[in-house]
Structure 1
Amino acid sequence: MSASAASAAGPRIVSMNVCSDQLVLSLADPDQILGLSRFSRDAWQSWAAEKARNFPRLSGGAEDVLLLKPDLVVVSLFDKRATRDLLKVNGLHLVEFTVPRTLDEVRDQIRAMGDVVQHPDRAQAEIARLDAAIARARAVASAHHYRVLPLERRGFVSGDNSLINSLLAATGLTNAAGELGLGTGGFASLEAIVKLRPDFILVSEAGDRAVDEGRAFLLHPALERFYPEARRIVLPERLTVCGGVMLADALDRLTEELQRVTR
């Protein structure tokens, strides 16, 4: 394909990271997508896992990308530097995305990817969808000033430099992690969490089964006593692990969860 033809049809793209996969899948035409990351079909990590099954899955190395000869390769700064350097040495054009920590950075990335795939109108529509979801969540949450503790496996707490923190703040909820003195985040003891007494804990899954010790922390009898199902807000990890268009769905899920636990 000539450069002029590629420009007319939109660039042919390879994505090497599960977060960029989801942006590409949301904003590009199907025939622009030559391949996605090796984790693209992992439903635990990707909101768009089912849609990703329609496209080739890459190995994570440079060889299969070079064979595809894409116009653009979308990567994360967390992807292997050696792989990125090899692709550059072979003349491929890389577009690098970082991991967003705020909703403003999410908007910037959606907008940037819209420019990359040459569909800025779709990006603007997704940003509008995100903003509408924020407004819906704020309408439910902001009047109550709830203190919410984002709690992960083994007692890890997301602090003030996290996407979850930005999401909570935008809807009028308070991240109780700040009261633990953890700053950007860290591990909290069971005793500290119980003593903190947030209104709710935010977890990535419901249920009463522990498949390993990390999950078992969240099902400790003390936490289950003070934070039964009615005091747990559940946001699946696939909706929050990456900053992108899926955050609109995350916020709508947050709205539904707040309505459930505050009935």
Structure 2
Amino acid sequence: MSPRAGAALAAWCVILWCIVLPAPASAADLPRIASMNLCTDQLLISLADPKQILGLSRYAHERFESFAADDATQFRILSGGAEDILLLHPDVVVASLYDKRSTRELLKENGLHLAEFAVPRNLDEVKAQIREMGDLVGHPDRASAEVSRLDDAIAQARETVLQHRYKVLPLSRRGWVTGSDSLLSSLLAETGLFNAAGDLGIGFGGYASLEAIVNLQPDFIVVADASERAEDDGHAFLLHPALERLYPPSRRIVIPDRLTVCGGVMIADALDQLVSELKRVER
């Protein structure tokens, strides 16, 4: 083949390549989105371009509940009602099925597209929601990368737990125990840890007495913070002398609520935190 013929063939290949492969979406093609819920806030911030985000829920700045609270400060905060969302004319509104029904219905009646997310109860549902939001915002590649990061975090956590069969009890204010039908419990089970809530007869979740917890004697309790100061009566339960004696810091696994309240990319961080805490308490 002559050099001129080769150059012509290469040019045609480039043209055909451009025809066959769709051009990447421009910023103008991507949907503009408003969020009504703390959990959809975090999925949106993690996967969308900042320019796509028209507004977030009124809880978006809550640092104890949202891992993305600092990033949320650059965005408009919405009231929680329909009026300011309607004024923004978003292409999509993302919400939870637990958000106020009348507000969601009013938005639908005014022609807005609502994408409604359930509360995930296990890691498969978390991955599905990450992918769903990735598709919704036009960035499925980002969602795939986050799912891969989550899979890597699960594998690392399983490897850390492999040599043990610890029995743990997720415990919070006033003796509330997170049961088996929950995202936190699924996270623990995926790594090979055993949630002792079932031994207390607790399913989804419920309160346990101090005596029942002491008698159960799990290997570790899982708590949301390592504070040694009770700010109110609810938190004082965790600092009762009996629990402090049986469960000093070396027997408390700390996973902040902001990493487990919602299902999203932060679950990988929760697993990384779990690995770090297990290494600490095993020293």
TM over 0.5: yes
Aligned-residue offset at 1:6: 8.8
Does the 8 Å contact 1:6/1:12 carry over to 2? no
2:8 maps to what in 1?
A: none
2:133 maps to what in 1?
A: 113
Residues 80-159 of structure 1: pairs in structure 2 closer than 5 A? 80-159=100-179
Deviations 1:203-253 (A, max 9, x none): 001021111111000110000000000000000100000011000001000
2:71 maps to what in 1?
A: 51
Deviations 1:185-219 (A, max 9, x none): 21100000000000000000102111111100011
Give the percent of matched residue pairs that are identical in Structure 1 and Structure 2: 67
- Aligned counterpart in structure 1 of residue 55 of structure 2, from 21, 35, 38: 35
Query: Aligned equivalents of 1:53 and 1:184: distance in 2?
Result: 34
| TM-score scaled by length of structure 2 | 0.90
- Aligned counterpart in structure 2 of residue 230 of structure 1, from 250, 255, 278: 250
Structure 1: any 5+ residue segments left out of the alignment?
A: none
2:240 maps to what in 1?
A: 220
Does the 8 Å contact 1:142/1:173 carry over to 2? no
Query: Aligned equivalents of 2:199 and 2:57: distance in 1?
Result: 38
1:245 maps to what in 2?
A: 265
Aligned-residue offset at 1:118: 1.0
Aligned-residue offset at 1:8: 5.0
**1:259 aligned to 2:279?**
yes
Structure 2: any 5+ residue segments left out of the alignment?
A: 1-24
Count of residue pairs the alignment pairs up: 259
**1:180 aligned to 2:200?**
yes
SS in structure 1 of the partner of residue 278 of structure 2 = helix
Query: Aligned equivalents of 2:157 and 2:142: distance in 1?
Result: 23
Query: Aligned equivalents of 2:162 and 2:216: distance in 1?
Result: 21
Aligned-residue offset at 1:7: 8.5
- 1:207 aligned partner, one-letter code: S
- Aligned counterpart in structure 2 of residue 12 of structure 1, from 32, 56, 73: 32
Residues 57-72 of structure 1: pairs in structure 2 closer than 5 A? 57-72=77-92
Query: Aligned equivalents of 1:14 and 1:183: distance in 2?
Result: 35
Query: Aligned equivalents of 1:6 and 1:225: distance in 2?
Result: 60
Query: Aligned equivalents of 1:6 and 1:15: distance in 2?
Result: 22
Query: Aligned equivalents of 1:23 and 1:112: distance in 2?
Result: 10
Aligned-residue offset at 1:9: 2.7
Aligned-residue offset at 1:48: 0.3
Deviations 1:108-161 (A, max 9, x none): 100111111111110000000011111111111121110010001111111110
Q: Report which of the two structures shows the higher radius of gyration computed on alpha carbons.
A: 2
Deviations 1:6-65 (A, max 9, x none): 985310000110000000000001110000000001101100000000110101111110
Which portions of structure 1, spanning 4 or more consecutive aligned residues, are displaced by more than 3 angstroms? 5-8
SS in structure 2 of the partner of residue 135 of structure 1 = helix
2:219 maps to what in 1?
A: 199
- 2:53 aligned partner, one-letter code: I
SS in structure 1 of the partner of residue 76 of structure 2 = coil
Query: Aligned equivalents of 1:42 and 1:184: distance in 2?
Result: 25
Alignment RMSD, CA only?
Answer: 1.2
Query: Aligned equivalents of 2:247 and 2:114: distance in 1?
Result: 46
